[in-house]
Structure 1
């Protein structure tokens, strides 16, 4: 039946892979399945296996013959020849998959297929814009070269504050003691050692704790507000090179830092307001996987 024809969106993240099927008529969610991480850089073979398992479950459940499109949003897909490799890995599927990075898929989902900007700030950060089927980008260069305003960046600044106190011969502040406790470190030496031993996701997880500490500690407030302003500045960089100026700009919010931390969001919007930028904010209402429905809808002119 026409009503049961569907599309599949796959949001491939660093901790989980979420695959969801939506009807092509009205985007109704039919089925969702979750498997392990889908980040190809972490472990290519395991990530591919997790993605394949998620997609195959939906195809078996709903029937491969009714699948009209499969869209996969994968972090890092644009580098290392991954698109060609993934096309070969998934050549067995009933339709040729569309491969995007995860932030592109999120833009389609949050802005519902319309032009605009999406600000992604989770473990890392990136700003993407879509105008007349052309993509524009600012940031997203990873935790060593960029990721300004991200969870990792927030955590790094808090850690640097602890180290700065030590280097300056200052007494360890109550805020710094909270950071040491979070990382289960007795002193700055064990803190530094731990930071270099764990992955960036574990470091970035401190951002949530810093959000909690902002109630009592001004240093946490400063770090969070700086993150919000930094994200706003990167967003303006993107807007200035995309043909978006002079019209109200749709800005989508994606990632825990910008979605869930009110201090970061307030600093972000305050900076944009001070620049007298006309914009509308769009918060995430559904999984990024739903971007597949809006991509299909746009291509079919439904």
Structure 2
């Protein structure tokens, strides 16, 4: 049997084909399929071309795929669009052989191997998702304009705010100020407005990319920028703790918590702060390293949806060769 996982995100879409034995047949990455940002037609094109290219790399056709799970950003957040999103793969896959849902499930399935627990995502956006004995719940993920706390976009916005206050003297200039000038040469400080509003057109992914500069500044000792990451960690921990109640974990029950998304990659500041914030809350939390990348999580979930979950040996094979 062959399973396809599709992990959509705010900046890219990842595809992976695996077998029931845990062999990775092919991978592919393309542009984002975030339809609220690029439009439904562009999202459909990205998904369909991605499926075709991944199959081409594996030397198979879409008809050879046993089951597919597609994690699509913003799925379920606009009720009127759900049917159209569900129909996206129909040009290549029969409806009984795939399921679409929110991309938060990819992170959960990957980080916890489809086992009970909670996963927090901090990528371009942020969201928490968990399962417990068949119950499912989510927290956060309301969009970048008024939510997505602790995400790369949120951090990018906070970094721009910090830059503006450093630039006009409300705060002392520090490492972040210099880094932004190094990476985006400006004749004067106000040229940052031209960059963000005119050149970038407020593009979500571009603003989110500033989180990397903020991390560099924080690691270098910029205290005000470090505070951004401490606040981000606090917000992410609150989402996890809210799900503890929503899912009905018992007071003394161990709760596995894992994480995914670009903000956590190579960023000890956020992970250490997140662990500290969780430790202050009431849950019996145990942080686990993510077991697989989200695209593999989508493929593992596809096998589960097909009624043929991967064996322990197959999952171990993925750990060795597919991570």
Instruction: Identify the match of residue 267 of structure 1 among 258, 265, 273.
Output: 273
How large is the Cα RMSD of the aligned pairs? 2.4
Distance 1:186 1:235 in 2: 43
Q: Does 1:51 align with 2:47?
A: yes
C-alpha displacement of 1:269: 0.2
C-alpha displacement of 1:156: 1.8
Contact 1:259 1:283 in 2 (8 A): no
TM-score scaled by length of structure 2: 0.82
Contact 1:259 1:265 in 2 (8 A): no
Match of 1:241 in 2: 246
Contact 1:27 1:293 in 2 (8 A): no
TM-score scaled by length of structure 1: 0.87
Instruction: Identify the match of residue 294 of structure 1 among 295, 301, 305.
Output: 301
Structure 1: segments with no counterpart, 5+ residues: none
Distance 1:163 1:97, change over 3 A: same
Deviation per CA, 1:182-229: give whole Å up to 9, x if none. Answer: 443344422234333321211121111121122232222222222222
Distance 1:164 1:245, change over 3 A: farther
Give the length in aligned residue pairs: 297
Contact 1:180 1:191 in 2 (8 A): no
Distance 1:293 1:56 in 2: 20
Q: Does 1:40 align with 2:35?
A: yes
Distance 1:189 1:64 in 2: 51
C-alpha displacement of 1:180: 3.9
Distance 1:297 1:278, change over 3 A: same
Contact 1:158 1:179 in 2 (8 A): no
Deviation per CA, 1:276-302: give whole Å up to 9, x if none. Answer: 532222333433222332342365264
Q: Residues 144-223 of structure 1: matches in 2 within 5 Å?
A: 144-165=145-166, 172-197=173-198, 198=200, 199-214=203-218, 215-223=220-228
Distance 1:267 1:170 in 2: 24
C-alpha displacement of 1:136: 1.3
Distance 1:166 1:111 in 2: 43
Match of 2:69 in 1: 71
Distance 1:260 1:288 in 2: 17
Structure 2: segments with no counterpart, 5+ residues: 310-323
C-alpha displacement of 1:99: 0.4
Distance 1:6 1:108, change over 3 A: same
